[in-house]
Every structure is written in structure tokens, then in C-alpha cells.
Structure 1
Amino acid sequence: MEKIESFLSIVENYKAVFLDSYGVLKNFRGLIEGVQETLDFIQDRGIEFRILTNDASRSQEQQSESFTRLGLQGIPPEKIVTSGMMAKQYLQLKIKGGKVAYLGTANAAHYIMQANLESVAIADLDKHDLDDIKAMVFLDDEGFDWNYDINKTVNLIRKKNMPIIVANSDNLYPVAKNDVSIATGAIAKLVESIINKKFIHFGKPDTQMFNFAFDDLNSNGRAFNKEEILMVGDTLHTDILGGNKFGVKTVLVLSGNTTPGEVEMNIRSSGIIPDYICESIVG
């Protein structure tokens, strides 16, 4: 078994910490007990933090409000970086006019389409009138009929040569102690394999979110080096791989997607090695 260490004894040696949301601050039960004390510990020592989440279904403000409803204080919107923000930024820069088709919920679409573009759900798309469709976005794993709308998505992408954006790269997420649900990234990868095309993926492990958070840290008059930053997550293939690629130290916690019983096997089989392993960020 890999060595399990105390998170608080690790984090106090860094000047900034990037925290994943699901599996680190909260899980299927709600807020992880003791997380508020850890966040207070981080802030009391002047350690900067950012929340990096692959949840593209809610804005920074909505994410912050969600933490508050769970009982976690001290996470303002500006401390949160979402994969949806990266997708929205891409749409603002690259798509000029027209409509964007999406697979997901109307709430997620409203947030992403603040890029001043008109959105249309795949379910409402007229397959005989596609001239104004300029991009397609995979947003969420709910809000649509999995059989009918995924088939419709496949046919849209086959007919239209346009940017295909994946706003959440996660393959799955826990919904109970021993159960998971398929996430947006897995749906997108299924469609990619069917039509043999590569889409534009946002979120961890890709570097856009890390670059954004790093630049944000260094925009407030302080200067941070990557050696002074710690990335904390519960998933090897997103959080830890992303942190490793970006060049910061990484902590794998066992309070979410990775459990104590599988951690050693997962590290060996994936070749993705965290710098530290902790039970959680509590203690």
C-alpha cells in the first residue's frame, strides 16, 4: 500500500492550492465532514486557493451558492474555475453568429451561451434545417433522451463540419458508495469513436484550467511559481494527470473516485503517480 500522509502537514508547505470540488470538498453524501476546518486552516495561513471543477453545468456564482447551501463558507465565485468557463471563452472567441446545438440541460446551456450566441437543444433541432448551426457542445449527462438525442447528435456531426466542444471531460462520477454514473466526457468519447472524429475537450487533465488559475493567482500583485502550488484531486486521469502535466505537485485523496482498496492497483496500471496520497483533505 502506498504511504498515506496528513494533508494539513503537506499543504502548509505551499503558497497556493488548487482543489477539485467533487470528491475533495463534497461527495454523494454532501459536504465532507471537516472540510470547513481545512479551508479555514488554509486561509488562516495566507495560502491562496482556487477550486478547479469539470462541472460545466453551473456558473461560478451558482457553484458558490451551492457550496453555501451545503454549509461551506468562504468560497466566493472568483475563487472558482470551471470547465464551462473555458468552453464559453472558446465560443466567444471562435464562433461569430449562428446557433450552437447542445446536449445537456437548459440551465447549463444558458450559462455557456452567455457568449451572446443562440442555443438550441438537440431535441429541438430540425435535422432538415442545419445551415445556422455553427458548433455543437456536449454540456451535461442529463436533460435529454439518451437513445433518441445521442443518435440525433451522431447524425448532426456526420452532416456538419463544425467545431465540436466537450465542456466536461469527466468519464464518470460517484452517485453512491459503490455506484457511478456516466458523465459527459464518456458520452462524447463514445460519439468520437463512432464517427472517428476528434472533439475539442475542456477541463482537467487539459491545461487550459490550470493556465487560467495560474494566471489568476499572479494577477493580484503576488508572484507564484509552480513549485509553490499544490493540486488536490480524487481522480488520477483528470486531477493528478492534469497537475503532473502542468508541473505542480499533486495530492491524490481517497474520499471520492479513488478508494483505499484500489489506489495501488490504479496507480500501477495507469502509470499516473501523485506526489502524495491522503485519506482526505481533513487532518
Structure 2
Amino acid sequence: MEIQPFLPLAEKFRAVFLDSYGVLKNYKGLIDGVQDTIAKLREKGIAIRILTNDASRSQEQQIASFAKQGLHGFETYEVITSGMMAKHFLQHKITEGKIAYLGTENSAHYILQSGLEHIAVKDVDLNNVKDISAFVFLDDEGFDWNTEINKTVNLLRRKNIPIIVANSDKLYPVSKNDVAVATGGIARLVESMLNKKFIHFGKPDTQMFTYSYNRLKQRLGPFTKKEILMVGDNLNTDILGGNKFGIKTTLVLSGNTSEENAQQQINASGIIPDFICRSIID
């Protein structure tokens, strides 16, 4: 397993797609040195886009969160979130009825701004679901795990409606050694129980990559996929997504994947990054 320094590698590309958690920040906060790396990429004229599976914050909230931690200078067009992609889908596809959701009111307020009423699953009357037109998995917080996942299962058994997963992540780190179940993990469980196919947004699905690529060409003119590098810490989302989209990928060992188990995970998953770096600050 060859580990390369990041900046000399990144300088070979015109655009760099960066995951957020595990690349720019971790459970402690912003990774020391990230600010300098971002500044050096900008000095080289390399376009930067943040591709995150976070569905709990708007682009503006993401940028404010970065700034609060000391990472300044991002514009809204540089941040692409899975919540944003889910929002676009709902705005164009769901035109009537109520949208039920599992998650926090903050993310519901941001994502479900389609002009339709949204309702937390805890407030749904299972005996009267005729006006529920879609269901969205938003966050792993904001609900009672003991009751509302069961209620979600029963709602989706009773009503055949579009089911949207705004964050595909199955797990996320909460400390150096521990993880927590993320929205995508809950959704996958319910999906397998009901034997239904949900609509997933975020990496590794290609909608976010396609959107980012098309907007990049709109702003900067002709662009090829060969000129883009995807950087992430997760084989199953960042690297698989980049591989599926047909761009070069770099696995960093500063988040979900550690240097000790990286090769084992690559061998076990069959997901092969083009490059490996310890972090974007090395």
C-alpha cells in the first residue's frame, strides 16, 4: 500500500472534490492544517467543491459551521449536500399532500421547503394516512428510537409512497474508536424489512457527482472527468461514488479508515482507490 503526499498529487488536477467529515474535520473539530491546504489549493487555481452526505444543514449553515471552526472563505456554490439533492427532488416531484419525516425539525425546515406541509412521524395518525404523499429519512436524531422507527415501518407498510433517504451514510465516528448509527443505516434496515427500494441521495449514488460536475462546467467552461480528484475517508461512499462516476479517487486515512486497517478494508470490499494519502495536510 503506497501512501503519497497530498498536495503534489492534487496539483495534477483542475478540481478537487472533498468530503467534509474525516477530511476537513473529525470528532475533535477541524483537522489542524486544513486551512493552509485549502489556501494552497486556491493559490494554484484549483477549484474546490465540498461533497457531504450531511442532510441536517443548509449550504449556508455548513459554511457558517466551517467558519466557526476557523475555516473561512467558502461560497455556497462550493458546498453540495445530500440534503440539497433531496430537497431538489421533493420540490420537483412531490406536488400535493404531506411529507412525513424521521429526523430533526431543523433539517425538515431546510429540506422540506417545497410548499407542502411536513409532519414528523411521531405526529402521524396511522389510522389516517391518506394525505401522506412521501416519506423522508433525514437524521439519526430528533425522534424516539424506541417507538418512531416502529411507527415508520408501519406507516410505510400501509402506504405505497416515494421514500427518500437524504443521507446515505450508515455510520459516523463519534470518537477515535467508536461509531454511531447514521440515517442511512436506519433506512437500509427498514428497506430490507419491507423489501422496498428507497430513493437514496448522497454518495455513493451519482446524483451529487453529476450535479457538481455540471455546475463546475457551467462556471469554468469545458471540463473533463480526468481533471477531477475525489478525496474521502470512506471506501463505501466517497471512493465507491467517485469510482462509479469515473473520476480519480484518493482515500485519506484521517477519518473512517485508519492506516492500520486500510489495506484489509480495500481487500475485503473490492473498492480500490487510485491513490492513498494520510490526510490532506501531509
Q: Look up the match of 1:13.
A: 12
Task: Call closer, same or farther: CA 1:73–1:155 in 2, change over 3 Å.
Answer: same
Alignment pair present for 1:274 and 2:273: yes
Q: Look up the match of 1:164.
A: 163
TM-score, with normalisation over the residues of structure 2?
A: 0.99
SS in 2 for 1:211: helix
Alignment pair present for 1:149 and 2:148: yes
Q: Look up the match of 1:217.
A: 216
SS in 1 for 2:112: helix
Q: Look up the match of 1:121.
A: 120
Q: Provide the aligned C-alpha RMSD in A.
A: 0.7
**Mapped partners of 2:76, 2:219: distance in 1:** 16
SS in 2 for 1:18: strand
1:125 partner letter: V
**Mapped partners of 1:74, 1:225: distance in 2:** 26
Alignment pair present for 1:46 and 2:30: no
SS in 1 for 2:16: strand
**Where do 1:161-200 residues align within 5 Å?**
161-200=160-199
Q: Look up the match of 1:246.
A: 245
**Mapped partners of 1:221, 1:4: distance in 2:** 31
* TM-aligned CA deviation for residue 221 of structure 1: 4.1
2:118 partner letter: S
* TM-aligned CA deviation for residue 129 of structure 1: 1.6
**Mapped partners of 1:52, 1:35: distance in 2:** 16
Write the deviation string for residues 94-144 of structure 1: whole angstroms up to 9, x where unpaired.
101110000000000000111222110011111122111000000000000
Stretches of structure 1 lacking an aligned partner (at least 5 in a row): none
**Mapped partners of 1:237, 1:208: distance in 2:** 16
**Where do 1:70-81 residues align within 5 Å?**
70-81=69-80
SS in 1 for 2:258: coil
Q: Look up the match of 1:94.
A: 93
Alignment pair present for 1:66 and 2:70: no
2:224 partner letter: N
How many residue pairs align between the two structures? Answer: 282
- Aligned structure 1 segments of 4 or more residues deviating by more than 2 angstroms: none
**Mapped partners of 1:272, 1:74: distance in 2:** 33
SS in 2 for 1:56: coil
SS in 2 for 1:269: helix
> Percentage identity across aligned positions?
63
Q: Look up the match of 1:30.
A: 29
SS in 2 for 1:219: helix
**Mapped partners of 2:10, 2:172: distance in 1:** 26
**Mapped partners of 1:129, 1:48: distance in 2:** 50
**Mapped partners of 1:241, 1:195: distance in 2:** 26
2:269 partner letter: S
